[in-house]
């Protein structure tokens, strides 16, 4: 096979699976890469092509459309995705034009439905290479890429200016955040990272994760800095029984175990729990794992603390998962809020009197965060909200709601150097059950 063609095929296949078949990117990419034996470097580049194309799809399509005189027919195979991936390489990734264009044409010729458009693809992409950069620079990628319903909701919730900042930050490739078991300064120095005020360490250009110092030793695990805060809101968990509901992939379980808690990790996916256990083994940490739906999980005894990282729309993680822009729908907010309500009810039953329940989501939608907790407290007079007790260096006042809950935004950490900015959008609240 022509050098570089397999890499592009993986990217295009993943794009097609997300945009046409409406499947999550991680699953799509894993499936595409599994059918081809790519070296790690080529696999990483294929992923970069696909995620870049998703982040800038609106503007890339706008540039491409200016060079296509007539509407294309519906049945044209993977032509759209081939052009999208090639345009991303030409306008954003610095791929040499001859490579991006010739490989895209080869992809068209290998596609039964798209092969009759091979000459068209060649002509269009040459024009993109020659004059597309200026057109691309003048476009509003936020308006062209973000669904209107998301921007409208964020504008209503956070204001027009903040909504634009959140959206722009959500389209930036995120840095790599790590949670370390101990000595963050030492590991930051060894890895070439910086220590964030939250205690996480952040790497701008990390390369392969499994080749970084400390991976084999189990010194750290990958976890966004915002995602690491909810566990800290539980306070000192040494010696306490803690259940982590909807636990996979296990970053918070690892935090709890490293902090000395007696942890039970509950998830309905046996496969995801198996991977969680493998990660804990690498970290030399232990936790009890239970395959169960958190809605129906009923152990014999209650717990000192409960952590519920509930399923959500994940709109706070678009910078890591740009496929959310194309897979989520407005009606998903209400559907997931209903699920979260039921999960909170179940979580409350698992907690001992005097215990702490931390509820969190990686959603920017208030129905899944602030309003969800307010409604829960209205229903449960035996629970009270406990404002964040962490210091202001760890959790600045700007990250705290008027009620004292956590609300991080993708636009936070904007004062850090380029390549180190941003944060996943998270909501978290600490709720105490009366004795």
Residues marked active site are found at 362
Separation of alpha carbons 135 and 65, rounded Å: 11
* Complete DSSP assignment for 19-66: HTT---HHHHHHHHHHTS---HHHHHHHHHHHHHHHHTHHHHHHHHHT
Among 128, 2, 158, which residue's Cα sits nearest to residue 60?
128
**Lookup result for tokens 């060649």:** 122
Tokens of 263: 């942890």
Written as six digits, the tokens of 218 are 């189990």
With 0-12 / 13-18 / 19 or more C-beta atoms within 10 angstroms meaning exposed / middle / buried, residue 35 is exposed
> By three-state DSSP, how is residue 243 classified?
strand
The span from the CA of 141 to the CA of 56, in Å, is: 6
Give the separation between CA 53 and CA 12, rounded to whole angstroms: 10
DSSP 251-269: HHHHHHHHTT-EEEEEES-
Residue 287, φ and ψ in degrees, nearest 5: -155, 150
Distance between start and end Cα atoms, the chain: 68
Name the pairing type of β-strands 201-203 and 176-180: antiparallel
Only one residue has tokens 């081939």, namely: 82
SS3 208: coil
């Amino acid at each position: 096979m022509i050098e570089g063609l397999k890499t592009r095929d993986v990217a295009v296949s993943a794009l097609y699976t997300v945009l046409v078949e409406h499947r999550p990117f991680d699953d799509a990419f894993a499936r595409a890469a599994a059918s081809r034996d790519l070296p790690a470097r080529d696999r990483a580049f294929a992923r970069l092509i696909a995620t870049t194309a998703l982040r800038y799809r609106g503007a890339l399509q706008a540039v491409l459309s200016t060079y296509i005189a007539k509407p294309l027919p519906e049945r044209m195979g993977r032509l759209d995705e081939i052009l999208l991936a090639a345009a991303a390489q030409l306008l954003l990734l610095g791929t040499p034009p001859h490579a991006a264009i010739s490989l895209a044409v080869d992809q068209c010729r290998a596609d039964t439905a798209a092969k009759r458009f091979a000459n068209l693809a060649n002509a269009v992409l040459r024009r993109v290479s020659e004059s597309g950069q200026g057109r691309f620079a003048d476009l509003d990628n936020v308006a062209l890429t973000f669904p209107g319903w998301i921007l409208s909701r964020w504008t209503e919730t956070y204001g027009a200016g903040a909504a634009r900042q959140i959206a722009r930050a959500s389209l930036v490739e995120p840095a790599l955040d790590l949670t370390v078991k101990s000595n963050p300064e030492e590991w930051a120095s060894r890895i070439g990272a910086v220590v964030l005020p939250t205690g996480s360490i952040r790497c701008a250009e990390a390369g392969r994760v499994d080749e970084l110092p400390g991976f084999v030793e189990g010194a750290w695990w990958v976890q966004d800095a915002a995602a690491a805060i909810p566990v800290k809101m539980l306070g000192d968990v040494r010696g306490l029984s803690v259940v982590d509901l909807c636990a996979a992939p296990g970053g918070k379980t690892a935090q709890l175990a490293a902090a000395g808690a007696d942890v039970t990790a509950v998830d309905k996916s046996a496969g995801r729990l198996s991977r969680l256990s493998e990660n804990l083994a690498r970290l030399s940490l232990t936790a009890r794992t239970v395959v169960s739906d958190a809605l129906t999980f009923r152990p014999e005894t209650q717990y000192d603390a409960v952590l519920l990282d509930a399923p959500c729309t994940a709109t706070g993680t678009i910078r890591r998962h740009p496929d959310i822009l194309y897979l989520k729908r407005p009606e998903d907010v209400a559907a997931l809020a209903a699920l979260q309500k039921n999960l909170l009810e179940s979580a409350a039953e698992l907690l001992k009197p005097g215990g702490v329940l931390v509820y969190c989501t990686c959603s920017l939608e208030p129905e899944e965060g602030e309003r969800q907790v307010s409604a829960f407290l209205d229903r449960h007079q035996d629970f009270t909200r406990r404002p964040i007790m962490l210091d202001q260096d760890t959790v600045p006042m700007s990250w705290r709601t008027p009620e004292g809950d956590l609300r991080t935004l993708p636009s936070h950490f904007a004062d850090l150097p380029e390549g180190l900015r941003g944060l996943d959008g998270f909501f978290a609240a600490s709720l105490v059950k009366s004795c």
